[in-house]
Structure 1
């Protein structure tokens, strides 16, 4: 019997230190993480590969996280979306424009991030089993 692969996460975060920090924490928690520093770099990956979750900062150069989530919905509709942001107003916009996406506001503890990501996958499993 083969074990199912670890859930795949595409992490889009323009701040290098934060990206490394999140990638390390999520990998340690058992997720397969691919990280990029901008939305325009994430789109081709979403088109070519399969991801279970897009974890994206909202405020990024070239393409913000909300635009990225909209592209994700077009090219990879099964991929769940979760936003991270340090801006309350941006968080409200994300909630309005992507009502099914979770929004986690910075600063947050890594444990909270991992718990939220696990919750997204649990909800996905429950929906598949119904």
Structure 2
């Protein structure tokens, strides 16, 4: 089963996304900030880090950079209402898919499925 670490500071959005991904068959661990996600990335094996970009303490870009160091196999997808934030020229963002809010849950699930098409077809 694909394991997703969701880092989203908005409680309602976090619950909404978690439920949708779990209903689609994914194992989801949800936290409300990057500083809580980092130890989980260090200790666990996650297939996907799904992170908001704008969060307190550690933003999603920094979290993704740290993820690439501690868990290089983990894929990254950003969800954000602030698409321009992901394009800051003073910081190097890791290779990641960006899904801009608002989006339909179906779109999120489809994007996650696309990221793992090869892995799922191998395991069938």
Counterparts of 2:48 and 2:87, CA distance in 1: 21
Counterparts of 1:91 and 1:66, CA distance in 2: 7
Residue 36 (structure 2) pairs with residue 41 (structure 1): yes
Instruction: State the TM-score, normalizing by the size of structure 1.
Output: 0.87
RMSD between aligned residues: 2.0
Instruction: State the TM-score, normalizing by the size of structure 2.
Output: 0.91
1:1-130 correspondence to structure 2 within 5 Å: 6-93=1-88, 97-98=92-93, 100-123=95-118, 125=119
Counterparts of 2:93 and 2:86, CA distance in 1: 10
Structure 1 unmatched runs, 5+:
1-5
Cα deviation 1:17-66 (Å, max 9, x = unaligned): 00000000000000000000000000000000000000000000000000
Structure 2 unmatched runs, 5+:
none
Cα deviation 1:54-97 (Å, max 9, x = unaligned): 00000000000000000000000000000000012113339x83
Q: What number of residue pairs does the alignment pair up?
A: 121
Runs (4+) of structure 1 exceeding 4 A deviation are none
- Contact 1:91/1:105 (8 A) holds in 2: no
- Contact 1:54/1:79 (8 A) holds in 2: yes
